[in-house]
Structure formats: structure tokens, C-alpha cells
Amino acid sequence: MTDTTASTLDRADQVRTWDRLYIGGEWVPAHSGRLIESIDPSTEQVWALVAEADEYDVDAAVAAARAAFDGPWRHATTPAQRGVLLYRLAELLRRDAGRLAEIESRDNGKPVRDTTGEMLRAADWFTFYAGLADKLRGAQVPVSEDAHAYTIRQPVGVVGAILPWNSPISLSSWKLAPALAAGNTVVMKPAELTSSSALELARLVEEAGFPPGVVNVVPGYGGVAGARLASHPDVDKVSFTGEHRTAQEIMRQAAGNLKRISFECGGKSPYIVFADADLDRALAVAVHSGFRSTGQSCSLASRVLVERPVYEEFAARLAERAARIRVGMPFDPRTHIGPQTSRAQLEKTQSFIEDGRRAGFRLLTGGGRPAGLDRGYFVEPTVFADVDHDSRMAQEEIFGPVLSVIPFESEDDAVRMANGTRYGLVGGLWTSDVRRAHRVAARIETGLVSVNTFRPILPSLPYGGFKLSGIGRENGLEVMAEYTETKAVYVDLSVDEPADPFAD
């Protein structure tokens, strides 16, 4: 496998190669012999080649994960030892955060300061679940004096983790850390656009000392490697992050052996600003929450709903701030946001902007290509006001830096609109009325509601969606339910002869 160092990464002319898969603790060539081209979205040049797994490789990875699960991982590794391994992995991630961040920035175009932060946060996830590994308990169930009943939490088995391209390592930590803490083994398939960092993470797994087969990494295309993982009869659970249409397909594929499933899908998050809010704070947070990651976030504050008395002022100030966002190259320290990750994503964003123009929504800023960036999948931060809430722009996830600003007249009106899409991932509201804050938080149909901030993401806080935004929860203690089976054990302690209803 080609060595990866920060210094060679800086040489934009050199195509890097990751030509091995990580299966059963070995670095093996892909069965197909093919390599996936990874394009640097800021230059539109191929910058990396990554081994492409097919069904054969996925089968080998699942067999390795099964052998590890049935062998040393389950029977010779204590929960406390699992925790120690996860702590080690967290430390290695912290050590290599800069190098991994550079790889992800080349792959998906995010500013390197953002990807560096994501690596450090991923390390925090491993630390959190390291501490949990030996604290997962069942319960004693009171039934009668003549019986002892209790529950045991057991790992589900082999987990298939299927990942998107927008935050590859960070989102893989959301799956790997709790799955491993609970005692499962994992076959991970990163997105085809951003596969290299997952193989680098596998190196750290190896260095941390996890037994062979506990973690396996098989980059490949969704319709081939992903589909095989989702339908494989020896995979017990699929944990997926990506688009809801893919989740629907995976649900069908996973039906064969009734796999456990958890899905983190898209969103169209409402950002509700009441007239009594601290508008300066609401504005500062709206800019970051609406445009970070170039809009390529499932929890983007993409529908800005503003109470009528402050609507015009808020929309104008938001547009003015958006126009000052610095769009640029990922490795330039002044850059706030980079390009879109792929040409397809850029074209999707542009089609929504065209839709908005055609529909006659008020374009307050953006809509074009940033000056001076002729190459790369760049697009300006864009704000439309007076957007029809029933329009495609307000209803569909764009996954680009395009905000819809929409007025509302009353609390009921705000709640109706907030809940008026097929998604339900994150919601935020801004008000200085504490009673309204709790009242509206209870009425919003999203898995996370924030008040006077937006989208706090912590390992300790459960995260997930209502409606098309997903099934199940990641993070918090709650995610452990997704990676364990609960077994009830009932021990009869009575000494009397058992009643035999069939005796007569």
C-alpha cells in the first residue's frame, strides 16, 4: 500500500493510490483489480485512486467479520478491553487529525480547518463509547419470589456500515464507536467519492491493536459493494447514512434475513426566528448553520422562517452576511466554504437556483459562480426570500448553499410550516419567551430541536430523524439499543411440583 504522508499530499500534481482493501486484518488487492478515481472538487482533477471492492470482496469481509465475532472478539475480549482499544483509537485519531483532514479536504473540498475539527470530534466519539463499553447493563426484572428474571444486552453480530461522502470519518465514528463498544464486528463501506480516509482509519484500527476481522473496510460502488453488504445473509444489521431513496432500496435488500436497520437520512431543517428573539445572535448562527460545509449537511438550516415584523430586516441582514462569506480553495486558511463535492451535486444546486429564478422568488444574493474561481465545483452562497413554502425549493433537500427565507404570521403558522415537509431531522427556534420555547419545541416533528442555538451535536445527545429523515437514533446512550439485542432470562426457583395441565 502506498505510504501516505502530509508532505506528499501537498503536491497537487501527484495522484495518490490506496490499492488495498482491509479485510480480516490483511491488506489485500481488490478482486476486480479496478481502482476508483477520486476527483479533487476544487481542481476537477483526479487526485487519488482507491481499490474498488466488488461482491467477492464484500463476501470475504463479511466472513472475516463473522469469524472475529464468533471467535476472539466475542469470547476472549472483555468489555473493558474493548474500551481500551477504543481509547487507543481515539488517541491515534488525535495524533493524525491533520493528515486525515488533508485527505478529506482533497476528497470532498471542505476547508481543512473544518475537516481537522471533524477528526478531533470523531476522536471524541471513540472516547465517549470507550468509556461506555463496560457499563452496558441489563436489568433485574421483579416477577415473584419463585423466579429470578433478568435481561442481558448482547451484540447483534456483524454490522454493515454504509457511509456518505460529506463527513466520512466523522460519520463513521458515529457507527464504529458504539458498534464496537457493544461487541459487534463491522464491515464498513465508505462512499465512492471519498473512500481513502476510511482506509487510513483502518490503518489506525490496526495500529490500535484490534483483532483481525473486527473492522473491515471495503470501498466500492453503492450498487455493487453496498448492495451486497445490505443483502448479505450473514450480516445482522445495516447502519446507513445517506439519501432516503437509497435507504428505501437498502430496506428492500435487507429484508431477506430481516436485518436490523438504522438510517440517518436527509433533512430540510426549519430555523424559526420569532420577533422577540435576540436577532444579532440568531443572524450570526443562521449564517454558519445555513452555509457551513457548502450546504452539504443533512442538518442544514435551509428553511429560515421569520416572524413578519422582523422579516424584511432579518432577510436583508442575512443576505448581506452571506455575500461576505469567503468561498475558496480548501487549503487557503481564509476560506469559509469550499466547492461542492461533485459535478452532479453542483448541477443539482444550480437546478434549484434556476427553479427559484423561474418561480420569481426574490434573489437577495448569490445565484452564480464566485468571481475568480473558474475551475472547481464552486457556487455562491445564495439567499432567496418570499419562497413559496410548497415549492420544490422549500420542500426538497438541495445539499447546496441555498437558503429559503419565508415569513410567518403566528406561532401556529410557524409550527405548521416547520412540520410541513417529508423530513424531520433537526429544528431550531429563536425566542426570548421561555414558555413559547418549550411549547414549540414539543410541537416540532424533528429528532433534535434547539432553542437559541442550532444543531448541537454531541456524543452524549441522541440524534436521528422523524419521517423520511430516518429510522433509529445515533449517539447518546440510546444508540446502544441499535447495536444490541435484549435477551430475557427467566429462572424458575420454585421447589413445588410444577402444575401439569395435561395430567388429567
**Residue ranges binding ligand NAD (CB under 6 A):** 162-166, 171, 189, 191-192, 222-223, 226-227, 230, 241-243, 246, 249-250, 264-267, 298, 397, 399, 425, 470
Nearer Cβ to ligand NAD, position 266 or 370?
Answer: 266
Q: Shortest gap between Cβ of 496 and ligand NAD (angstroms)?
A: 55
Distance between CA atoms of residues 458 and 173, nearest Å: 12
Count Cα neighbours of 157 within 13 Å in the Cβ-side half-sphere: 15
Q: Shortest gap between Cβ of 362 and ligand NAD (angstroms)?
A: 26
Nearer Cβ to ligand NAD, position 118 or 307?
Answer: 118
Distance between CA atoms of residues 344 and 390, nearest Å: 25
Count Cα neighbours of 381 within 13 Å in the Cβ-side half-sphere: 25
Looking only at Cα atoms, what is the longest distance across the chain?
A: 93
Q: Shortest gap between Cβ of 151 and ligand NAD (angstroms)?
A: 29
The active-site residue, picked from 298, 307, 397, 482, is 298
Distance between CA atoms of residues 308 and 311, nearest Å: 5
The reply to whether 264 belongs to the active site is yes
The active-site residue, picked from 102, 243, 264, 411, is 264
Return the number of other C-beta atoms located less than 10 Å from residue 224's C-beta: 18
CA 381 to mean position of chain CA atoms: 23
Nearer Cβ to ligand NAD, position 163 or 272?
Answer: 163
Query: Nearest-CA neighbor of 442 among 463, 477, 421, 411?
Result: 411
Q: Shortest gap between Cβ of 247 and ligand NAD (angstroms)?
A: 7
| Integer angstrom CA distances of residue 345 from 166, 219, 488 | 11, 20, 48
Nearer Cβ to ligand NAD, position 157 or 164?
Answer: 164
Q: Which amino acid is residue 359, in one-letter code?
A: A
Residue linked to cell 419521517:
467
The reply to whether 298 belongs to the active site is yes
Q: Which residue of this chain has its Cβ atom nearest to ligand NAD in the complex?
A: 222
Output the CA angle 185-216-186, nearest 5 degrees: 25
Terminal alpha carbon distance of the chain = 74
Q: Shortest gap between Cβ of 483 and ligand NAD (angstroms)?
A: 16
Q: Shortest gap between Cβ of 162 and ligand NAD (angstroms)?
A: 5
Nearer Cβ to ligand NAD, position 363 or 457?
Answer: 457
C-alpha cell at 275: 420577533
- Contact indicator for 194, 104 with CB cutoff of 8 Å: yes
Element (H, E) at 434: helix 434-443
Nearer Cβ to ligand NAD, position 40 or 243?
Answer: 243
Count Cα neighbours of 256 within 13 Å in the Cβ-side half-sphere: 15
Please identify every residue annotated as catalytic. Answer: 264, 298
